[in-house]
Amino acid sequence: MGSRIENVIRTAVQTFATKPNGSFVNANVSHNMNILRQLLSEICPADDLGLTRYSGQPRFPLNLFSSKAAPVSYMEIFENQTVSIGIFVLKDGASIPLHDHVGMYGILKVLYGSLNVQSYSSIDLPGQTNSSIVHQPQYLKARRFPISCINEKDSPAVLSPSEHNLHTIWTVGGPASFLDILAPPYDPSGTLNGGEVRDCYYYSDVAGEDGMPSNSEIRLLKKTSCPPSFWCDSLTYCGPDIKHLQHELN
Ligand SMILES: [Fe+2]
């Protein structure tokens, strides 16, 4: 029997595998996502991901600290054309700016610390507003959800192509880390999926402009460049050996 993280990877690939026409091989995605969420809830960061705790920082593992200045680090665990699985680490006070996940499913499990997540669902509600700029391509209308504070005891949060598919994430009271499964993965160069580019775009919430009420849950988002305060470096995965999966599941 493989390791727990191997089981997570295999289940994620089975859950999100698609046929050439784009439909899922296993039709009941929400059921399979619940199985994945349960597996992630059982993940032990030390035993299953090799994240050993640092004696001086008992709440945070040494190998999630980056010596570099980047506010956020990413540890890739597995990626193929179906899913990307990795661990994000946010230094104390760091945030991931509002960004989108167009056409993606996602599962986010906090491993250490606490995070605030503010998510939005993109919507298209003709007639909802008289705004003219909302029809310009750099603008997006979205439903904003209340901020949710999640920690390692909480079940994994999920997003889908239609729900919670934009979000911003920031730390609460110290550094934090979460395991992230995205399907299909971002693919800014189009190398994973036959040239189809799937990029990440950043947004700012500009409700209050163009006559839209600023206290409404229906928000106007404007595409922006990546804020200069956000950049990401990489950390090396140090958990159970899963190299064979990269070959087997590609
Ligand atoms: Fe995200």
Beta strands in the chain (DSSP E): 53-54, 57-61, 72-79, 84-90, 95-100, 105-112, 114-123, 139-144, 148-151, 157-159, 166-171, 176-183, 202-205, 207-210, 218-224, 232-235
- Could you give the domains of the chain? 4-189+196-240 (2.60.120.10)
Tell me the CA–centroid distance for residue 100 and ligand 1, in Å.
7
Tell me the CA–centroid distance for residue 224 and ligand 1, in Å.
16
Tell me the CA–centroid distance for residue 72 and ligand 1, in Å.
13
pLDDT tens across the length of the chain (250 residues)? 789 999 999 999 999 999 988 899 998 999 999 999 999 999 998 889 988 755 555 555 655 666 667 899 999 999 999 999 999 999 999 999 999 998 999 999 999 999 999 999 998 644 444 455 555 678 888 999 999 999 999 999 999 999 999 999 999 998 899 999 999 999 888 887 777 788 899 999 987 666 666 668 889 999 999 999 999 999 899 899 999 998 888 8
Tell me the CA–centroid distance for residue 33 and ligand 1, in Å.
17
Tell me the CA–centroid distance for residue 16 and ligand 1, in Å.
17
Tell me the CA–centroid distance for residue 3 and ligand 1, in Å.
26
Tell me the CA–centroid distance for residue 56 and ligand 1, in Å.
30
Tell me the CA–centroid distance for residue 55 and ligand 1, in Å.
31
